[in-house]
Chains A and B, each alone.
Chain A
Amino acid sequence: MEGVREALAVGVMVLGALFFVAGSVGMLRFPDVYTRLHALTKADNLGMGLLVFGLSLQAPGWQLVLKLVLIWIFVMIAGAISCHLVAREAYRQGVKPEQGGDL
């Protein structure tokens, strides 16, 4: 049982790390500031959630789980707000979005 939990924790955390990789690839490949923000906010939110979930499975007590969840919430708040501010400033400066098609 302990082994199963350990394996699940590692699997979930590796999956979370893969989402961080995908977010970073998106940041490099996507064409403009707005689409790059998409990659960062969403992939990192999910990656962070999976990391927190994996670490919670390994946590020795509920207080640590609470702390991890709180960290996740605050990273999400910081991510959403900073992403909004970058997008708003780009919009106010008149940065045009790429029109798309298959890029």
Chain B
Amino acid sequence: MAVGVFWRVVFFAALWWIWAGDKPASWWFGAPAVLSAAFMAARRVGDESHRVRMRGLGMFLIYFVRASFQGGVDVAWRAMSPRMRLRPGFIEYPLRLDARRAPAVFFANIISLLPGTLSVELGETSVMVHAIDLEAPVEAQLQELERRIAAMFVAGEGA
């Protein structure tokens, strides 16, 4: 717990510094905010820890930027074309990641930013996904995302 709080203080202080700049007076508000945020985060999430592979992270960022681009272009094109081509519907995607842990939550959030998919509910063994075009290879795309996230995180100690 103590170690968790320490690193969170460092992390949140860095965020505050980036936002507020180096005006000393900003810390009158910033220091209490950083400390309370660190304590609340440590209490809420506990000591679950995951190491992130740098190589996996780099690969993931490239993939993410590319997919964000495709996602934005895809939905903008559908919105602007006179005949909107939509074949929406739900897909239940079986999770390989452990639904209670951070990588699965990360997965569910990224789903909504990628082309044509939106996470609706994170269940215990699956994610309910809404797809804007059921004829697109939605399942294959989700598998690729899940594989890339699994490659980025290394499971650590903790509850």
Contact = CB atoms under 8 A, between A and B. Distances in A.
Contacts of A84: 108-109, 112, 118-120
B130 A87 contact: yes
B118 A100 contact: no
Contacts of B86: 30-31, 35, 98, 100, 102-103
A23 B76 contact: yes
A7 interface: no
Contacts of B65: 49
Interface string B114-140: 111011110000001010101000000
B54 interface: no
A98 to B, nearest CB: 6
A35 B132 contact: yes
B72 A34 contact: no
A59 interface: no
A41 B72 CA distance: 8
B75 A42 contact: yes
Contact of A39 (B79, B108, B120, B128): B79
B75 A39 contact: yes
A67 B34 CA distance: 17
Contact of B110 (A39, A46, A67, A80): A80
Interface in A8-50: 18-19, 22-23, 25-26, 29-32, 34-35, 37-39, 41-43, 45-47, 49
Interface residues of B, number: 41
Contacts of A29: 79, 84
B73 interface: yes
A97 B113 contact: no
Nearest to A98: B88
Contacts of A80: 109-110, 112-113
Contacts of A70: 15, 18-19
B51 interface: no
B85 interface: yes
A49 B68 contact: yes
21 contacts: A23-B75, A38-B116, A41-B112, A45-B113, A46-B72, A47-B72, A49-B65, A63-B18, A76-B113, A77-B109, A83-B118, A84-B108, A87-B130, A88-B121, A91-B128, A97-B89, A100-B86, A100-B134, A101-B87, A102-B84, A102-B86
Shortest Cβ-Cβ A-B pairs, 9 listed: A46-B72, A26-B79, A22-B76, A42-B71, A100-B87, A80-B109, A34-B130, A42-B75, A87-B120
